[in-house]
Amino acid sequence: MESVLSKYENQITIFTDYLEEYPDTDELVWILGKQHLLKTEKSKLLSDISARLWFTYRRKFSPIGGTGPSSDAGWGCMLRCGQMMLAQALICRHLGRDWSWEKQKEQPKEYQRILQCFLDRKDCCYSIHQMAQMGVGEGKSIGEWFGPNTVAQVLKKLALFDEWNSLAVYVSMDNTVVIEDIKKMCRVLPLSADTAGDRPLDYLTASNQSDELIFLDPHTTQTFVDTEENGTVNDQTFHCLQSPQRMNILNLDPSVALGFFCKEEKDFDNWCSLVQKEILKENLRMFELVQKHPSHWPPFVPPAKPEVTTTGAEFIDSTEHLEEFDLEEDFEILSV
């Protein structure tokens, strides 16, 4: 087992050895709906990326389910991507898109509470334990690799437990014929949470106007970090402090899930309008929007709540009282 962990620990180093410096260009770079001019704002760009919560493989946490794995190395990469997508949505909701993180600087309590929701403990509401066990209902055994669509379904169920008044939209799709649409969605839609796929890209944070993507990679194994005696979390390993990696968009995995955060109903309405105007105007569509739940789809059955009482959900549910909106009365999103 140690040899397997060592293999994944070293993977990030192999990638980084071949990372080139960012080119000196006048192009714009888009980071989760926010643009940076690479030539004059490189430091802001790197700061924006390092501010994103970075979840990777971990080891030496309590066994999942009591007798299961104590590390997710080799199988938990998509779960970590899902955590990053959800964490970004929570940061947008509670701290705002323009919030920034600095190393060894005291952070607002909302940030610490968000981070604690994702610690590798069974009583944390968005932990690897909760996500892996929720995946059992989607036909995935604990320790089995998830695909982007399965992760999106698990995130939807976890968000239902916390009765979000905001909305995180996840669109799962096959990107074989929609590369240009993906690039357009990264630039045109301002409410982006992020994107998840697999090998080698697992968490997409940006794209520029050429054919390159910037990404955070979960394929490195770090030791489990728990809450300290003062109730805070040492967050140094939850942010990528090295230069981020890049890849050509044509190397993007064929199966991806895109995430978009809508704080209020009007944001979702604007998102739908932009998608219909800019993305779904072509004959070959990567997904569809429809007014009602399709009759040939099975009825939605809310999942059963976890047996373990989790912490963090009360914070997610109560910090803001935003207007609820019902997708059943608005749009259904169909992935293709």
Segment 208-213 long-range contacts (CB within 8 Å, at least 24 positions apart): 208/27, 208/28, 208/29, 208/30, 208/38, 209/27, 209/28, 210/27, 211/183, 211/248, 211/249, 211/250, 212/246, 212/247, 212/248, 212/249, 213/246, 213/247, 213/248, 213/249, 213/252
pLDDT beyond 90 at 288:
no
Of 219, 240, 262, 267, the active-site residue reads 219
**pLDDT tens digits, 28-52:** 788 887 888 888 888 888 899 899 9
The full DSSP string for 70-96 is SB-TTT-HHHHHHHHHHHHHHHHHHT-
Sign of the torsion angle spanned by Cα atoms 195, 238, 24, 189: positive
Residue 189: strand, helix, or coil? coil
**Residue 331 DSSP symbol:** -
| 296 assigned to active site | no
Q: What angle do CA 196, 198, 199 make, to 5 degrees?
A: 145
Give me the torsion for CA of 70, 76, 82, 85, rounded to 10°: 90
Residue 137, token pair as written in the block: 């209902």
d(CA 83, CA 78): 9
- 34 forms bridges with which residues in the sheet? 31
Number of Cβ atoms within 10 Å of the Cβ of 336:
12
pLDDT beyond 70 at 22:
no
The percentage of residues in the chain with a pLDDT greater than 90, rounded to a whole number, is 31
Of 217, 240, 262, 267, the active-site residue reads 217
pLDDT value of residue 308: 60
Of 36, 48, 72, 77, the active-site residue reads 77
User: Percentage helix, strand, coil, to 5, in the chain?
Assistant: 35, 20, 45
d(CA 32, CA 202): 15
Q: How confident is residue 3, by pLDDT bands cut at 50, 70 and 90?
A: very low
**pLDDT tens digits, 149-206:** 899 889 888 876 555 566 667 676 665 555 666 666 666 665 455 556 554 344 444 4
Determine contact, residues 166/262, Cβ cutoff 8 Å: yes
| 317 assigned to active site | no
Determine contact, residues 222/58, Cβ cutoff 8 Å: yes
pLDDT beyond 90 at 264:
no
Mention every residue, 6+ apart, whose C-beta is less than 8 A from residue 215: 201, 202, 203, 204, 205, 206, 244, 245, 246, 247
Report the candidate in 201, 196, 141 with the shortest Cα–Cα distance to residue 172: 196
Please tell me which residue, 84 or 332, carries the higher pLDDT value.
Answer: 84
Residue 113 backbone dihedrals phi, psi, to 5 degrees: -70, -35
Q: Identify which of 125-139, 243-257, 277-291, 307-321 has the greatest average pLDDT.
A: 125-139
pLDDT value of residue 335: 42
d(CA 22, CA 240): 17
pLDDT beyond 50 at 319:
no
Q: Are strands 221-223 and 57-59 parallel, antiparallel or unpaired?
A: parallel
| 262 assigned to active site | no
d(CA 96, CA 99): 6
The whole-number average pLDDT for the span 243-265 is: 80
Q: How confident is residue 128, by pLDDT bands cut at 50, 70 and 90?
A: very high
